[in-house]
C-alpha cells in the first residue's frame, strides 16, 4: 500500500520549459531503449510474430477485382509507413511483419461467408469474425492469440456514376497479445490512386471527393484501425507536434494519410507516445519474453505542481518487468478520446519520472490518464478495471484547476485500504488527511471510508432541519450497471467526481436507474446537483418525481457539465429519482446524483 505522507502534494510553483518534439525524441528514446532492450536481451525469448490477413466475402459475392494485388501493395505501404515512423523516432525500422506467401506476396486467407450480402452490415463484425475462426484454426492460426486483419468485401461501386458506398464493419481493438481489425475492400481502393486528384468520386459518407482523397481516407483507415488492433488508443497531436510532423495517425490521421503526395498537407505521423508503445509489441520487437505476465506497475510518491500553463505530474513507479516509459493522455470532455494530446517521460534508475502536462482545451474539464509501459509489452492502466485517471478543469482563460486530481491522489491510499478492508490503515490514513487541514478533503475522505458500511437512518428527529439524502435509507435502489452505491464510485474507482469537481456525497446511478424514498410528507425541499462521472462519455437525463408526478427534469447531459435543482416537496410521500439513458442507449451512462439534501 502507498504511504500517504509520500503522496502529499507540494504546491510550490515550478516553471518548467517543455522540450520540443525533436528534443523529446533525442533524449527519451535512447533512455527508453536502454531499459527495454537490456531487459529483453537477458534470457531472450525470440519469436516471429506476424500479422495475418483475411479477405472475407459474402456467400453471393466474389472478391473485388485484383484484390490480392491491390491490397498487397497497400499493406506494404502501411508497413513502410510504420517502419519509417519508428525509424524517425529512433527505434530503427521496426514494423509489422506479414505471413509471406508465394511469389513474394502477402498470404491472404480467402474466406466465404455463410450468408448472402443482405444478411450483413456495419454491426456484423463479431459474426464475420466468428465465420473466419474455424478456417483460420485449420490453417494453424489461433485468432485468440494472434493479430488479424479482416478485409470485408462489403462496398458497392457504380463505375458509370462513379459512386461508392460502404456497408462494412470498420473498427478494431487489441493488445500486445492479440487483436482484430475490420476493414473494407473496394475496386477503387488502390495505392496507385493515392497521389491522384482526378477523377472525382461520390462517396456515401464523405460526399464529392477526389479518388486520391478517397484512398487517403481508406488506406489511412487501414493504418489507423491496425493501430487499434496493436493496442493503440486514440490520441491527437500537440500543437508543436502538428507543426513539425502533421496529423497524428490515431487522431484524424486516418483521413490525411498520403495527402502530402497530392500537395494537400503534411500527411500523417506516429506520435512518440505511440512509438514507445509499439516498441515492445511482439510483432515489432520480435520478443515474446514475459508476454503472459499481467500489468503490475505500482506508482507511488505521486504529486502535481503548477508548471507553465499546466502542471507537472511526478512520481515513482516500480514493476516487474520494468517500466520503460510513462505516457499521459490529456483528454478534454466530449469528442471521445480523439482529441487527447499526449506527453511522455522515462523513469530514471530509481523509477522516478515527471510528465510535463501543457496541452489543454480552454473552458473544458478533462481527465489525465496515465499509462505505464512495461518491457513485456503490457500497458498498466490501459484497459484495466482501475486505470490511473485524474480529473481537472480548465477555465476559459486557459488556467488549469487540478485540485480535484489532487484530492484523488491524496485519497488513493484510502481507496486502496477500503477496498482491501484494512480497517487499521483506513483509520491511520484518515488521521493523516485530517492533519492536512483541508475540511473539504477530509469530508470526502471520511464519507468514503464509511461508504461500504453506511449507517443509514430510517427515521429523522423532528428538530433536524436538513439531511443528506445519502444518509437516509432508500425503499428501493436499482442501477443499469453495477451495484447501487453511495458516496463512492463502484469498481474501486474512488471518490465521486463530475465536471472536474469532487463531491463528498452522492449516488451512483448508471442509467437506467431508479432510487425511491418514503418521506411521509415530512420534508419540504430537495436541492443538489447531477452530472456524469468524470472519464465517462455517456449522455443521461435526470428526473425527479413526487408521488409519481414529474417535479423536475434536466436536459440531456453530456460529460463535463453538472446541473443544479431545488424542488418543492411539500406533501410528497414518495420521492423518486430517475436516471434515463438520454435516448441513445446506456453505454457509459454513469449518472451521478450529487450531494442531494432534504430540507424541512
Domain layout of the chain by residue ranges: 4-15+288-414, 49-285, 422-450, 466-599
CA dihedral 309, 315, 320, 326 (to 10 degrees): 10
DSSP 501-518: EEESSEEEEESSEEEEEE
457: DSSP letter: B
Hey, is 484 helix, strand or coil? coil
Identify the pLDDT of residue 388. Answer: 86
Specify the fold of 4-15+288-414: Immunoglobulin-like (2.60.40)
C-alpha 220/C-alpha 229 separation (Å) is 14
Degrees (nearest 5) of the Cα angle 412, 413, 415?
Answer: 65
Q: What does CATH list as the number for 49-285?
A: 3.40.390
Q: Which of 158, 159, 183, 175 is nearest to 53 (CA)?
A: 183
What are the φ/ψ torsions at residue 254 (nearest 5 degrees)?
-65, -20
Please identify every stretch of the chain with a pLDDT value under 70, giving residue numbers as ranges. 1-18, 382-387
Kind of pairing between the strands at 476-478 and 466-468: unpaired
Interatomic CA distance for residues 406 and 305, integer angstroms: 10
Q: Using alpha carbons only, give the angle 533, 302, 318 rounded to the nearest 5 degrees.
A: 110
CB 162 within 8 A of CB 144: no
Examine residue 88 and say whether the peptide bond preceding it is cis (omega within 30 degrees of 0).
no
Closest listed residue to residue 566, CA positions, set 551, 582, 547, 549: 551
Among 107, 238, 230, smallest CA distance to 179 is for 230
Grid cell in block for residue 220: 489511412
pTM, rounded to two decimals: 0.86
User: Is 245 within 8 Å of 21 (Cβ atoms)?
Assistant: yes
Instruction: List CB contacts of 262: < 8 A, sequence separation 6 or more.
Output: 195, 196, 197, 210, 212, 213
Query: What contacts 405, CB < 8 A, 6 or more positions away?
Result: 304, 368, 390, 391, 392
Closest by CA to 454, choosing from 412, 415, 485, is: 485
Model confidence over 532-549: pLDDT tens digits? 998 888 999 999 999 999
Percent helix, strand, coil in the chain, to 5, is 25, 30, 45
Task: Collapse the DSSP code of 324 into the 3-class scheme (helix H, G, I; strand E, B; otherwise coil) and give the result.
Answer: strand
Cis, peptide link before residue 135, omega less than 30° from 0: no
What pLDDT score does 364 carry?
A: 87
The dihedral sign for the CA sequence 19, 23, 28, 31: negative
- Of 324, 373, 344, the closest CA to residue 32 belongs to 324
Supply the pLDDT for residue 12.
24
> At residue 515, what are phi and psi to the nearest 5 degrees?
-125, 130
252 neighbors 199 (Cβ within 8 angstroms) = no
Tell me what pLDDT residue 16 has: 36
Q: Are 502 and 447 in contact, with CB atoms under 8 Å apart?
A: no
Q: What is the spatial distance between Cα 437 and Cα 272, in angstroms, rounded to a whole number? A: 41
Closest CA to 101 of 131, 71, 81: 71
Alpha helix positions (H), 231-312: 239-245, 272-278, 282-285
What is the edge-to-edge ordering of all strands in the sheet holding 172-174? Answer: 108-112, 51-57, 147-152, 179-184, 172-174
247 touches 265 (CB < 8 A): yes
- Give the residues across from 344 on adjacent strands: 327
**Structural domain 466-599, CATH architecture:** Sandwich (2.60)
Amino acid at each position: 500500500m502507498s504511504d500517504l505522507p509520500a503522496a502529499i502534494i507540494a504546491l510550490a510553483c515550478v516553471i518548467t520549459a517543455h522540450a520540443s518534439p525533436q528534443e523529446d525524441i533525442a533524449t527519451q528514446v535512447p533512455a527508453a531503449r536502454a531499459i527495454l532492450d537490456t531487459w529483453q536481451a537477458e534470457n531472450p525469448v525470440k519469436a516471429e510474430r506476424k500479422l495475418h490477413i483475411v479477405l472475407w466475402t459474402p456467400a453471393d459475392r466474389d472478391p473485388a477485382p485484383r484484390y490480392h494485388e491491390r491490397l498487397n501493395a497497400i499493406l506494404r505501404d502501411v508497413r513502410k509507413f510504420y517502419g519509417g515512423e519508428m525509424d524517425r523516432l529512433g527505434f530503427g525500422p521496426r514494423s509489422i511483419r506479414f505471413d509471406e506467401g508465394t511469389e513474394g506476396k502477402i498470404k491472404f486467407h480467402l474466406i466465404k461467408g455463410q450468408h448472402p450480402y443482405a444478411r450483413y452490415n456495419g454491426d456484423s463484425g463479431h459474426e464475420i469474425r466468428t465465420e473466419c475462426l474455424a478456417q483460420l484454426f485449420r490453417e494453424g492460426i489461433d485468432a485468440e492469440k494472434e493479430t488479424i486483419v479482416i478485409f470485408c468485401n462489403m462496398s458497392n461501386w457504380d463505375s458509370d456514376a462513379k459512386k461508392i458506398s460502404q456497408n462494412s464493419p470498420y473498427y478494431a481493438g487489441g493488445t500486445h497479445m492479440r487483436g482484430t481489425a475490420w476493414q473494407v475492400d473496394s475496386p477503387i481502393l488502390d495505392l496507385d490512386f493515392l497521389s491522384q486528384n482526378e477523377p472525382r468520386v461520390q462517396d456515401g459518407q464523405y460526399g464529392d471527393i477526389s479518388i486520391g482523397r478517397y484512398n487517403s481516407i481508406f488506406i489511412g483507415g487501414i493504418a489507423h484501425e491496425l493501430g487499434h488492433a496493436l493496442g493503440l488508443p486514440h490520441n491527437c497531436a500537440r500543437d508543436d507536434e502538428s507543426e513539425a510532423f502533421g496529423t497524428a495517425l490515431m487522431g484524424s490521421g486516418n483521413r490525411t494519410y498520403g495527402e502530402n503526395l497530392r500537395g494537400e498537407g503534411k500527411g500523417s505521423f506516429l506520435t512518440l507516445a505511440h512509438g514507445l508503445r509499439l516498441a515492445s509489441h511482439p510483432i515489432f520487437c520480435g520478443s515474446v519474453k514475459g508476454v503472459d505476465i499481467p500489468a503490475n506497475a505500482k506508482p507511488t510518491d505521486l504529486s502535481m505542481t503548477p508548471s507553465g500553463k499546466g502542471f507537472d505530474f511526478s512520481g515513482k513507479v516500480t514493476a516487474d518487468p520494468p517500466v520503460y516509459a510513462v505516457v499521459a493522455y490529456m483528454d478534454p470532455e466530449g469528442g471521445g478520446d480523439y482529441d487527447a494530446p499526449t506527453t511522455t517521460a522515462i523513469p530514471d534508475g530509481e523509477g522516478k519520472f515527471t510528465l510535463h502536462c501543457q496541452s489543454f482545451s480552454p473552458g473544458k474539464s478533462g481527465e489525465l490518464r496515465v499509462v505505464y509501459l512495461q518491457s513485456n509489452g503490457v500497458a498498466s492502466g490501459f484497459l484495466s478495471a482501475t486505470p490511473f485517471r485524474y480529473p481537472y478543469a480548465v477555465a476559459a482563460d486557459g488556467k488549469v484547476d487540478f485540485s480535484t486530481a489532487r484530492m484523488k491522489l491524496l485519497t488513493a491510499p484510502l481507496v486502496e485500504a477500503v477496498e482491501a478492508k484494512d480497517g487499521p490503515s483506513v483509520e491511520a490514513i484518515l488521521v493523516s488527511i485530517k492533519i492536512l487541514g483541508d475540511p473539504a478533503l477530509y469530508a470526502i475522505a471520511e464519507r468514503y471510508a464509511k461508504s461500504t458500511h453506511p449507517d443509514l437512518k430510517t427515521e429523522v428527529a423532528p428538530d433536524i432541519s436538513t439531511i443528506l439524502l445519502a444518509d437516509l435509507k432508500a425503499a428501493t435502489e436499482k442501477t443499469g450497471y453495477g451495484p447501487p452505491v453511495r458516496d463512492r464510485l463502484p469498481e474501486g474507482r474512488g471518490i465521486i467526481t463530475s465536471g472536474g469537481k469532487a463531491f463528498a456525497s452522492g449516488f451512483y446511478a448508471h442509467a437506467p436507474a431508479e432510487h425511491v424514498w418514503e418521506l411521509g410528507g415530512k420534508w419540504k425541499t430537495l436541492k443538489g446537483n447531477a452530472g456524469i462521472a468524470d472519464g465517462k462519455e455517456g449522455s443521461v437525463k435526470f428526473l425527479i418525481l413526487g408521488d409519481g408526478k414529474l417535479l423536475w427534469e434536466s436536459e440531456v447531459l453530456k460529460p463535463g457539465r453538472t446541473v443544479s435543482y431545488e424542488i418543492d416537496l411539500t406533501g410528497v410521500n414518495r420521492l423518486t429519482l430517475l436516471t434515463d439513458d438520454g435516448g441513445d442507449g446506456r453505454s457509459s451512462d454513469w449518472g451521478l446524483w450529487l450531494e442531494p439534501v432534504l430540507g424541512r
